[in-house]
């Protein structure tokens, strides 16, 4: 009964803290609707909800890219069980708001279970779970709710693996086999959650964990040869079962990926895009300064950082050492191009489909949180040792003073910008201009350097950067706490309470920082009602709309951007997805209108004038532009509000039509070149790849 009571209190405290940080979602009706959410996750979620309400599954949509296999776009999470249940039975706004709240709790709960399985106290496990869900993995490490659906199952897999290993030591083989069921389910949830890259990284880390613990148990004589081999097969079978269960979603994704720019143009440079700059280590202390050089943070709080160091130095258990080594491995992997060993491993493997090595920081944040929980228990059990207590208190002082010193040094560098300017130029020459994916002139990057230097001067000034003031305030709290503790002025119980309180305050303020969490919150819009400007396009007979995107300024002014149309049931030619078919993007060419998450493909009125035939073939009956298209006779202006213009394309072809001739090309590049020329007339000919052959009854023009 007492154990049940403690469990209720622990879960209630977790729910209360999550509610405190997520108060805007719970009590103000806000949700994740800005940034990438506006052009990806929000419209996809709404479309997903509508299809489920109609009794179907989002297998396909005709509203983007003249048809797109939505099931294959994993970020939709079509077969993810928790998402399916929420969006099947709840109103859209309730389901959309409840999904992240549920996963915040699940992320904490699974972390708590895992840390408890390591024999940590309830308080330490509670703290470790909170650090994980509200540390840099969600609040500042560019992660979104799609990634959250995947990452929260990582501690669940570790917990199940730990329990299975415990059962094996007790020779409970039936129990070991039963643990395969939750393991496979958690793996299935990861693969269908929507972010294959995170799922792969998670599965690799779980295999690493299981193998390391298995070898340690064997060397300690706790498991013999036969049980060890059996558990090895169990581990790989459980991972494989999760993959097989997720096959109906994974296989279409892998098939579509073969035709996307992610795999078609993937190489070593692509795989190293988004490497974590070494300056990112500063984010362990002051995220608001390091964020200027790299958007990828590793921050779980100053007090937890000190606790993690205590856990690393004072805990001699195998688990603590393993977690510390895993933390270093994840950080080393996140460095990407700045780590020669990581580059060497990539070259040996030969797989370049995953970019942004900095995504390993999510797992580094988890191991750092677990290490902080171990450090907290190390304090609990060694508080009465005077010598150890003084050393631990000194470590708190060191972390606090280091944070202040970093702020002071960065302020000095900001005021003397010549040195930083030279470093930026060296980095530009060696890592940006040599990268085939950079799309801007050197002068543009130099302007960005000057802009960043100006930002650094503001960021390092306490008068203009409230986040720096908060960091310095928390540093002061840590210094005072360490000093009073070292002097013996605080009781053992009060030290533990103050550590928990300081860590909670730190996380609360950090939740306001950046755009990863609260920065993307806003009131949920009425998605079923498009701007009145496009109301007539909702008709099934309206055809498709092409949106001319001419640059960041017009993109921000646009009344309709890629994917938003899905909420309004308006079919467009463009789309936004990392899995857009490369040949479709090549077909549009200089017309633009799409975003493959590697950058917006911009168009221009001149490109429309020259390439209107390509849009005609796509049944683009309307064009929306912020720039006049008066020179094109086939376009009739039907509506104008300010600079927003809607044109009716009188030359658009129907969805299906007959042509009298065909052109054959042996190579796709040759075909695309012909399609982009003035000689191409889609109403008169079809373009085919392969060897010329007679297609009766059509006449044949071979080339």
Dump pLDDT digits (tens) for 169-202. 887 788 889 999 999 999 999 999 989 999 999 9
Residues with Cβ < 8 Å from 497, sequence gap 6 or more? none
Specify the range with the lowest mean pLDDT, choosing from 117-121, 321-325, 384-388. Answer: 384-388
664 DSSP β-pair partners: 688
The Cα 694–Cα 422 span in angstroms is 65
Given pLDDT bands bounded at 50, 70 and 90, which one contains residue 700?
very low
Q: Degrees (nearest 5) of the Cα angle 211, 213, 216?
A: 105
pLDDT higher than 80, residue 663:
no
Q: pLDDT tens across 23-76, in order?
A: 888 888 888 888 778 788 888 999 999 999 988 888 898 888 888 898 988 888
Per-residue pLDDT at 365? 93
Terminus-to-terminus CA distance in the chain, angstroms? 83
The Cα 229–Cα 652 span in angstroms is 65
Given pLDDT bands bounded at 50, 70 and 90, which one contains residue 517?
low
Q: pLDDT tens across 149-167, in order?
A: 999 999 999 999 999 999 9
Q: Please give the structure tokens belonging to residue 281.
A: 């280590």
Q: Please give the structure tokens belonging to residue 359.
A: 């995504």
Given pLDDT bands bounded at 50, 70 and 90, which one contains residue 531?
confident
Specify the range with the lowest mean pLDDT, choosing from 199-213, 409-423, 585-599, 605-619. Answer: 409-423
CA 215 to chain CA centroid, Å, is 33
Per-residue pLDDT at 701? 41
Q: Are 633 and 589 in contact (CB under 8 A)?
A: no
Q: pLDDT tens across 313-342, in order?
A: 888 889 999 999 999 999 999 999 999 999
Given pLDDT bands bounded at 50, 70 and 90, which one contains residue 699?
very low
Q: Which helix (H) or strand (E) holds 689?
A: strand 685-689
572 DSSP β-pair partners: 545
Specify the range with the lowest mean pLDDT, choosing from 156-160, 380-384, 547-551, 698-702. Answer: 698-702
pLDDT higher than 70, residue 139:
no
Per-residue pLDDT at 459? 73
Q: Which residues of 559-574 are buried (b: 16+ CB within 10 A; e: fewer)?
A: bbbbbbbbbbbbbbbb
Q: Please give the structure tokens belonging to residue 469.
A: 């003031």
Average pLDDT along the chain: 84
410-420: average pLDDT: 74
More confident residue, 509 or 530: 509
The Cα 332–Cα 326 span in angstroms is 10
Q: Based on the number of CB atoms within 10 Å of its own CB, is 676 exposed (0-12), middle (13-18) or buried (19 or more)? A: buried
Sheet containing 644-649: order of strands: 544-547, 620-625, 644-649, 635-641
For the full predicted model, state whether its pTM sits above 0.85.
yes
Highest mean pLDDT pick, 95-99, 139-143, 182-186, 660-664 = 182-186
Neighbouring CB atoms inside 10 A of 97's CB total 22
The Cα 3–Cα 10 span in angstroms is 11
Per-residue pLDDT at 694? 58
């Amino acid at each position: 009964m007492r154990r049940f009571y403690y469990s209720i209190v622990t879960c209630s405290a977790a729910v209360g803290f999550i509610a405190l940080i997520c108060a805007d979602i719970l009590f103000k009706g806000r949700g994740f609707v800005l940034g990438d959410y506006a052009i990806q996750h929000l419209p996809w979620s709404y479309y997903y909800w509508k299809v489920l309400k109609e009794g179907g599954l989002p297998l396909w949509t005709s509203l983007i890219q003249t048809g797109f296999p939505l099931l294959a776009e994993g970020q939709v999470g079509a077969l993810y069980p928790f998402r399916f249940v929420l969006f099947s039975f709840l109103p859209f706004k309730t389901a959309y708001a409840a999904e992240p709240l549920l996963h915040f709790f699940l992320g904490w709960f699974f972390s708590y279970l895992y840390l408890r399985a390591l024999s940590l106290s309830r308080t330490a496990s509670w703290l470790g779970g909170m650090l994980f869900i509200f540390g840099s993995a969600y609040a500042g490490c560019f992660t979104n709710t799609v990634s959250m659906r995947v990452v929260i199952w990582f501690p669940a897999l570790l917990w199940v693996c730990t329990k299975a290993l415990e059962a094996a030591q007790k020779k409970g083989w039936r129990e070991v086999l039963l643990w395969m069921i939750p393991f496979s389910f958690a793996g299935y949830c990861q693969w269908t959650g929507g972010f294959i890259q995170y799922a792969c990284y998670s599965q690799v880390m779980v295999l690493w964990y299981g193998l390391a613990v298995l070898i340690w148990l064997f060397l300690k004589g706790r498991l013999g040869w036969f049980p060890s081999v059996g558990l090895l097969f169990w581990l790989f079978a459980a991972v494989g079962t999760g993959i097989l269960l997720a096959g109906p979603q994974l296989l279409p994704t892998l098939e579509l990926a073969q035709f996307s720019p992610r795999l078609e143009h993937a190489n070593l440079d692509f795989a190293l895009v988004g490497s974590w700059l070494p300056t990112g280590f500063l984010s362990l202390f002051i995220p608001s300064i390091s964020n200027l050089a790299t958007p990828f943070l590793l921050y779980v709080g100053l007090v937890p950082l000190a606790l993690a160091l205590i856990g690393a130095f004072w805990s001699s258990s195998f688990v603590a050492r393993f977690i510390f080594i895993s933390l270093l491995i994840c950080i080393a992997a996140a460095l990407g191009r700045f780590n020669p060993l990581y580059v060497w491993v990539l070259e040996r493997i030969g797989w370049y489909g995953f970019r942004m090595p900095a995504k390993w920081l999510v797992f580094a944040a988890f191991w750092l949180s677990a290490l902080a929980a171990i450090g907290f228990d190390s304090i609990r059990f060694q508080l009465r040792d005077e010598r150890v207590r003084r050393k631990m208190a000194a470590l708190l002082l060191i972390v606090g003073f280091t944070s202040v010193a970093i702020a002071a040094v960065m302020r000095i560098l900001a005021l003397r910008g010549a040195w930083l300017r030279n470093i930026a130029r060296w980095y530009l020459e060696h890592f940006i201009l040599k990268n085939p994916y950079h799309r801007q002139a050197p002068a543009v990057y130099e302007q960005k350097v000057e802009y960043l230097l100006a930002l650094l001067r503001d960021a390092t000034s306490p008068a203009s950067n409230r986040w720096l003031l908060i960091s310095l305030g928390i540093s002061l709290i840590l210094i005072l706490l360490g000093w009073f503790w070292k002097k013996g002025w605080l009781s053992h119980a009060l030290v533990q309470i103050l550590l928990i309180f300081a860590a909670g305050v730190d996380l609360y303020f950090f939740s306001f920082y950046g755009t990863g969490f609260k920065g993307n919150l806003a009131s949920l819009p009425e998605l079923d009602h498009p701007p009145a400007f496009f109301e007539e396009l909702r008709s099934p007979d309206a055809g498709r709309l092409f949106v001319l995107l001419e640059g960041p300024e017009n993109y921000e002014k646009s009344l309709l951007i890629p994917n938003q149309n899905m909420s309004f049931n308006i079919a467009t030619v463009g789309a936004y997805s990392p899995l857009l078919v490369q040949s479709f993007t090549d077909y549009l060419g200089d017309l633009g209108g799409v975003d493959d998450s590697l950058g917006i493909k911009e168009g221009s009125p001149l490109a429309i004038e020259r390439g209107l035939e390509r849009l005609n073939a796509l049944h683009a009956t309307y064009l929306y532009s912020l720039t006049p298209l008066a020179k094109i006779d086939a376009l009739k202006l039907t509506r104008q509000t300010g600079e927003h213009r809607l044109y009716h394309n009188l030359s658009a072809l129907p969805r299906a039509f007959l042509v009298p001739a065909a052109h054959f090309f042996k190579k796709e590049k040759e075909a695309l070149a012909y399609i982009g020329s003035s000689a191409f007339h889609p109403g008169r000919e079809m373009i085919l790849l392969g060897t010329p052959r007679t297609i009766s009854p059509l006449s044949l023009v071979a080339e």
